Amino acid sequence: MSANDAKVGLQARRLAWEVLEAVGAGAYADVALERAVRQHQLSPADRSLTTELAYGCIRWRQWLDVWLDRLGKVPARKQPPRLRWLLHLGLYQLLRMQRIPPAAAVDTTVELAKRHGFSRLSPVVNGVLRSALRAKEAGETLPWPEQPAERLAFCHSLPVWLAESLLHWSDPDQAERVAIACNQVPPLDLRVNRLRSTPDDVAAALSEAGVSTQPIDGCPDGLQVLASGGDLRRWPGFEQGHWSVQDRSAQWISPLLAPQPGDRILDACAAPGGKATHLAELIGDVGEIWAVDRSAGRLKRVAANASRLGCGCIKAMAADAADLIEQHPDWRGSFQRILLDVPCSGLGTLSRHPDARWRVTAATVEELLPLQARLLVAMLPLLAPGGRLVYSTCTIHPAENGGQVKRFLQGHTDFLLLSEQQRWPDPDGGDGFYSAVITAPVKA
């Protein structure tokens, strides 16, 4: 990418366009973004703009399509994909970003069209964006459907099937709150490592470096970052393992196991290791924690996180959790605590993974259910008599949550459900998640 691109403000926009193209072709947004920015030495401001543009356009894809359908002669879904994403880039800046001057949004988008294969269509790009600007200045709004699910989907840029489901799972007000939360940039939450520091000390050190924080309600070890800048890996305490990044919803999971020093604990689907290291911190690093995951590559992150945080009691092992008892028959009944954070649809994390809403379907959920059920049953022979198991997900789909646990308990009447909780994505912060605390009979 040329120096002239950077000078006229095109670099961040060009990279965001690349990310939109990649995601439109099936790539994961976080992977595509990291690949795009890794190839260029971006300033913090340009990296932030690239991220905001890419993730914002992905979040608001359907909403932007509705505007395109209104403003253009060709429906959005019939546009060449690269042109569609470029128009999204311009429309997002015009209609949803306050800090970008309208002239800059129009001019840079038209310039990208001229430089990257759409020179002949640059007048069309210019016309669509200027029509959008006139509509915005006139205070015009889109005509939304009267049907509740379609209206929720179009207003908040969700798939219609998901909007219908939200209205079925909850009341209209709750569905609206979830939809709003799905389109907000999630707050940055930290978990303080009490093996090496305290929340007060971490907050003070960060404050001296210009990073302001506040405590998180319900998370005794949590701090929400309010204002910051630069690479967080250079913030005070990161290299020393005083804290790690973990959403507040994830911080609520590990304490549900009520782990005790000396416990033998299994984290059955452990990567990237946030909950395993939290468990180690909760037991004072006294005990034995097996962090199991099918991906040997992802387990490297578990080992790296454990090393940085000083969690020496964690042992990482690449294996299929569903087959553990066959591979390790000596593990039968040996774990006082088991955390089963199953693979799920991730519908509780759409603010963090905006592309998931366009990738996950009702069929995707159905495909996951047998795996979740198999993993849950596979934990039983590993759990010690009277032991505690926490089944958790980061989804809000009832079939993956209460539905799974209900079927399990119907087939295993000697196990007891101590508690279950569904947390919805919250506009004030926190992903959606589900947890169920189950205890084994005292006598096997």
Q: Are 211 and 227 contacting, i.e. CB atoms less than 8 angstroms apart? A: yes
Residues 418 and 271 reside in one and the same domain = yes
The CATH number of whichever domain residue 73 belongs to comes to: 1.10.940.10
Which residues are marked as active site?
394
User: Rounded to whole angstroms, how far apart are CA atoms 20 and 353?
Assistant: 14
User: pLDDT for 380-409, tens place per residue?
Assistant: 999 999 999 999 999 999 999 999 999 999
Q: Residue 338's beta-bridge partner residues?
A: 266, 389
**pLDDT at residue number 227:** 82
Residues 258 and 380 reside in one and the same domain = yes
Total of domains in the chain: 4
Is 143 part of a structural domain of the chain?
no
Residues 130 and 66 reside in one and the same domain = yes
User: pLDDT for 250-306, tens place per residue?
Assistant: 999 999 999 999 999 999 999 899 999 999 999 999 999 999 999 888 899 999 999
The residue type at 101: P
**pLDDT at residue number 332:** 97
Residues 269 and 377 reside in one and the same domain = yes
Residues 109 and 34 reside in one and the same domain = yes
The CATH number of whichever domain residue 309 belongs to comes to: 3.40.50.150
For residue 444, pLDDT beyond 70: no
User: Rounded to whole angstroms, how far apart are CA atoms 396 and 347?
Assistant: 6
**pLDDT at residue number 8:** 56
User: Rounded to whole angstroms, how far apart are CA atoms 325 and 318?
Assistant: 14
- Choosing from 137, 157, 173, the residue where a domain stops is 137
The CATH number of whichever domain residue 239 belongs to comes to: 3.30.70.1170
Residues 12 and 107 reside in one and the same domain = yes
Residues 322 and 385 reside in one and the same domain = yes
Q: How many residues does the chain have?
A: 444
User: pLDDT for 103-155, tens place per residue?
Assistant: 999 999 999 999 999 999 999 999 999 999 999 999 998 888 999 999 999 99
For residue 315, pLDDT beyond 50: yes
Owning domain of residue 162:
148-182
For residue 4, pLDDT beyond 60: no
**pLDDT at residue number 17:** 98
Cβ burial, residue 102 (10 Å; 0-12/13-18/19+): middle
Is 376 part of a structural domain of the chain?
yes
The rounded percent of the chain whose pLDDT value lies above 70 is: 98
Is 444 part of a structural domain of the chain?
no
User: pLDDT for 323-372, tens place per residue?
Assistant: 999 999 999 999 999 999 999 999 999 999 999 999 999 999 999 999 99
The rounded percent of the chain whose pLDDT value lies above 90 is: 90
